Each structure stands twice: as C-alpha cells, then as structure tokens.
Amino acid sequence: MKVLPVPCLEDNYAYLVFDEETGDAAAIDPVWPDQVLQAAQLNGAKVKMVLTTHHHWDHAGGNNGMKKHLKDVPIYGGVKDKVEGCSHPVQHGDEFSISPTIRVKCLETPCHTKGHISYFITSTLEGDKPAVFTGDTLFIGGCGRFFEGTPDQMYNSLCKTLASLPPETQVYCGHEYTQKNLEFALTLEPKNEALLKKMEWVMHQRKQKLATVPSTIGDELEFNPFMRVDLKPLQLATGRHSPLEVMAEVRRMKDNYKGR
C-alpha cells in the first residue's frame, strides 16, 4: 500500500492510496482532478474510486471533474453530508475494498461538518502501516473549526473514535497547517518535550518547503492539545476542568490566536 500526497490550492492535500502490485487506487478529496490523475498516471495507479471526507468545496469540489475524466467512478461521502457528486453514501462502520489487499473502514467524525467521514485504510501485507485520512477533523497538532457541531462531538471524534486507532496509524490530514498549530500548542504546553521536538522537525521541513504529513495517532496524543483535553496540563492552561469545557476553551483560544 502506497500513499501519495498531492498538494492542491494554497495549502490543501489530496491523496492517492494505491496497491503497488495491481495499481488499484482511491483518490481522496481530489479538488484538482487534473493534478491528481496526472500523479496517478506517473505512478502507475488506476483510480477506481473517490473518497470524500466532507462537503466543503476545497475537498469535494473536484468530484464532478473526476466523473468527467472517469465515467461512472464511484464517489463516496458521508450520508449526513451533501457531498458533490456522491453516488455511494456511507456511514460509520461501512467497509469496502480498494484492492484485494487494501481495505477501507468509514469512521463518522462529525463537528467540522455534521457528516464528516474519516477513512481508516489497512493492508493485509506485512510491513504496510495503517493510515487514516482525517480531512478537516484532525490536523497535525490541531483540529478543524466547529462549523456544524459541538465540543462534545469533536471530543468524541478525536478522543474516542480516532484515539482508539492503533498508535502507529499514519495520520494524513486535509491541510498544511502544522507550523501554526504547533505555535499555538506551545502557548499551552511550553515545556512539552514531544511538542518541542516536533516543532523543531516541522520548522526544518517547512524551510525546505516539504510536507509535514504524515503524523501518527500515537504522536498526536503526545502533543496535540485537542487530543489532550483530559489531561492536567491542559486543564491548568485553560482554567477549565471537564474535558468538554477544556475542548471548548482550547477551540476558543485557537480561534482568537493571532500567531507569534
């Protein structure tokens, strides 16, 4: 199983997930169809399906374009979301295959949008790491704004659904927001060693204009403030006590954060 990020727009990521043996591939949030299909061709991948995390234009806006290039290509999206071109609505727990060895499980991760889906993709081949494509629910070091949901929903999406995945699961998010997310996280936990180490690596990557994806679920639990709302350091930093109060306050603080 190979994962190929395809930068799109200003800071979006589309992805190709494909079987290197068969070439069978899924395109995830291909907002720029031409670039995604060109990347597929260069890598010997054949797009068999489109997986859409949520209905926002910068994620779903290429779906009809993909249909023009690939007649009858199935478009997957959340049953509770109004995803452009969706032919295969999915809900929590639905499963299907990209290839004989690559399997997809749909996870409902609402809040950014009410029908947001994260796609947990695994391979039966030894050495292939599981991956989750989190759209705008989980970012590296952050999370999406609560446009259509509540702190309770984001808590369940991040701290229960996604946190329950194997710690080695590779996290592929929808945007390159990592540097600013970690700058904010350091205002809450300035002595967090995992966070400081990650920030140093991210600064190195960005100076070279390189991507910061993927992270892992295990790493996010070490430094992402939105996945640490159960913990004392975040309670102290926010002056709140219950995880839901901390989640709401961290989001409020992040929304108002102007940067360094």
The catalytic residues are 54, 56, 58-59, 112, 136, 175
Within 8 A by CB and 6+ apart from 194, the residues are 219, 222, 223
d(CA 84, CA 34): 17
* Unique residue bearing structure tokens 């309670």: 235
Which tokens hold the place of 119?
């796609």
Within 8 A by CB and 6+ apart from 171, the residues are 131, 132, 134, 138, 140, 213, 214, 215, 216, 217, 219, 220
* DSSP at 175: B
**Helices in 19-147 by DSSP H: which ranges?**
33-42, 57-60, 63-69
